[in-house]
Amino acid sequence: MTIDIIIPTIRTREEIAPLVAEIERTAGCDVRVIATCQQVSAAKNRNIGLDLSTSDPVIMVDDDMEQFPQGWAVRLCEVLAERPNCVMASPQLASPKGGAGCMMGGHAIRRDGITSAQQRKLPTACVAIRRNPIRFDEAYIACGWEDDDYCAQLRLANPDAEFLVRHDLWIVHRNEAKGQFGENWKINEAYFMNKWIDRKGSRLR
């Protein structure tokens, strides 16, 4: 089976050629890399990739990921195959310095096993997901919060949804956060809160 691997990116094909080569060399299976290369928001680039993809599952990899271990794509998809309620599986993100990288969801930090993100959400920097009709909300500008929103949509559609981290896969995330902070962060956070959180601070969904 060929697995589609989406790279949602504003970089050119020439700029991400080394990443594409690394993905193809290490995936451990036949892959079709879909690099979007559009000067649009992260949400829009993610949706472009999803709309072009046909495989189930599909993998999404940010353009600032590196140091993929051999067979990583196969091992990530195995989590979905073995856990029917899992809607999203992520490796343990690592920092360029070798420690644990920044992630969300309240998961454990380990070197083995598979654990659940207690907050039932994960960053979409490197994830395997089941094919589904849900798309990223393109109201989010630049990047940031669009993955929180996507996870909220998955929870709404799948009440028993699990978000799992495979801890024997550590993959480096440089976490460049292009355009994520400052005023963009405030705008995106406010939009998310208005959409998903009520005035008492409880999640609406």
**Does residue 18 have a cis peptide bond before it, meaning omega lies within 30 degrees of 0?**
no
What local confidence, expressed as pLDDT, does residue 131 receive? Answer: 96
| pLDDT in 10s for each residue of the chain, 205 residues | 899 999 999 999 999 999 999 999 999 999 999 999 999 999 999 999 999 999 999 999 999 999 999 999 999 999 999 999 999 999 999 999 888 888 888 778 889 999 999 999 999 999 999 999 999 999 999 999 999 999 999 999 999 999 999 999 999 999 887 867 789 999 999 999 999 986 444 555 5
What local confidence, expressed as pLDDT, does residue 178 receive? Answer: 81
84: left (phi > 0), else alpha (psi -120 to 50), else beta?
alpha
Q: Provide the β-strand partners of residue 170.
A: 92
Give the span between the Cα atoms of 50 and 112, in whole angstroms: 30
What local confidence, expressed as pLDDT, does residue 201 receive? Answer: 46
| pTM metric for this prediction | 0.93
| Extended strands (E) in 14-156 | 31-35, 58-61, 65-66, 86-94, 114-116, 126-129
Centroid of chain to Cα 202 = 25
What are the extents of the domains in the chain?
Answer: 3-196
What local confidence, expressed as pLDDT, does residue 179 receive? Answer: 66
Q: Which of 76, 82, 36 is nearest to 58 (CA)?
A: 76
Q: In CATH, what number does 3-196 get?
A: 3.90.550.10
**Number of CB atoms found within 10 A of residue 145's CB:** 26
Place of tokens 């096993």: 113
